[in-house]
Amino acid sequence: MFSFYFGLILTGSRVTKILENVILKIWFAMIHAQKLAIIYVVWSLVCLSGAVPVNVTYGGFESAEFFLNYDRNSAEERAPAFAIKAEIFVRDIEKIDDTEMKWSIHLKVILHWSTSVPPLNLDMPGNGDAFIMIPQSMFKKLWLPNLFFVDGRDMQYSVPFSDKDSVKIRAYKNGDMSLTARIFLNMGCPMTFANFPFDKQLCRFKILHNHNPKDVTLSFVENSRSVHVAKDLHLTNFVFVQMKYNALAPTDDGHTNETSHLAVELEFARETSFYHSRIYIPSIIAILITWLSLFMDPLENATARAIILGIGISIGTFCMALCTVPTLHPTALGRWTTVCQVFLLIAVLEFVVVNRFAVEKKQEERSKSGNETQTTDNGVRMPNLLNLVYDRKWHTTIDILFRINYLLAFLVFNLRYYFTFVKRPDIEI
């Protein structure tokens, strides 16, 4: 292309001179732009290396070199005790694993503290509410709280704020600092299953610091929403009940190693709809079916009664097989299934015993009737027909008593179970 234009220049025409000037201007502009790009890249690398303070802009104004007089090492030495006030927002709880006794939680933590000594050189317009956003490359130049989380098993989870991309820091004109961090933690949650599936689990965590207890104090922001939970929180197997929190300050005793920390406790109640529809209600139906079979004659309707008993036992056994308990220790559900199996077994035993003795009694009476005869008006001797009538009074009495006691015992068990496990006061874990 340039050879073509060079040929035109040699012609000496006026058009070629104009084209020559345009091409030369474009060429020099391109060279100048490359030089500017190289200078910009070099300057950016120098700024990132820390050799030159970086200016931070926000909202249309600029704070010039506000790190010039700030030293993160002298901040903690020269300043009085840092009073860190916290806000905690539970954004989501991913899962609560009652098998491994763990829970996964998404938190939004907001920390407020003051760095008035030594002051930041924030030359900006506006009142004390004006602020600038600190870039992540400058986090290591600031004094940041060194915090860590402790779960219910006393396992520690450190949170390096200076290395997290989800951390935002604001510096206010009056020297106050505000740190906002989104944190995901997979922590342990000790559980007890004595009331399973009507149990309530308490999952706790604490926030502590690694600083000198006399230099740093932790507390919650003094408002009603210092700790709150998302309204659209949805869990698979549990329902969120309530949340408790408090801030523990160190004692005046110089011998104690206790530091100020924040404690949060969340209470969850297990969702019981699955257990009602798949275990409790079918088990009650199975018991009622076996109870209805007691109204059938154990001798004449023995086959039909045995079939009904088999149906009731099959329903009860199938439903109890769905019972999955996350522990080997005794639970409320385990007690329920055990007692229901005992009731089914008692109904079967009652049928077998009554039917067996009824058959033997009938055979015995038939044998006696064969030896006894009576004389008719015509003088013909024939067996006594009155003795051929089977006496059902004794086993009918047993069936009636068993029907009443069987149903009454099951009702008493249900009431006892309800007030012992369902309406039982909360158990501290």
∠ Cα 232 160 249 (to 5°): 75
How far from 4 is each of 1, 12, 18, 25, CA to CA, in Å?
A: 5, 14, 15, 18
> Exposure of 369 by Cβ count < 10 A (0-12 exposed, 13-18 middle, 19+ buried)?
middle
Say whether the peptide bond before residue 197 is cis (omega within 30 degrees of 0).
yes
Picking from 121, 123, 133, 124, the residue whose alpha carbon sits closest to that of residue 58 is 133
Contact 133, 170 (CB under 8 A): yes
Indicate the DSSP class of residue 148: E
Task: List per-block mean pLDDT (blocks of 10 residues) for the chain, which spans 429 residues.
Answer: 42 52 57 51 44 40 43 53 90 92 95 69 60 84 88 85 81 85 94 92 93 87 86 90 85 57 94 92 94 85 88 87 75 92 93 83 66 52 49 74 95 95 65
Secondary structure of residue 374 in the 3-state scheme:
strand
Q: Specify the pLDDT at position 21.
A: 59
What's the pLDDT at 60? 33
Helix axes 14-48, 2-11, angle to 10 degrees: 140
Contact between 154 and 206 (Cβ < 8 Å): no
* Three-state SS annotation for 287-328: HHHHHHHHHCCCCCCHHHHHHHHHHHHHHHHHHHHCCCCCCC
How high is the pLDDT of residue 341? Answer: 92
Q: Give the model's pLDDT for residue 62.
A: 40
The 10s digit of each residue's pLDDT in 309-326 is 999 999 988 887 877 777
For the stretch 200-245, pLDDT in tens is 999 999 999 988 888 888 999 987 778 999 988 889 889 999 999 9
pLDDT of res. 255:
41
| Predicted local confidence at residue 376, as pLDDT | 53
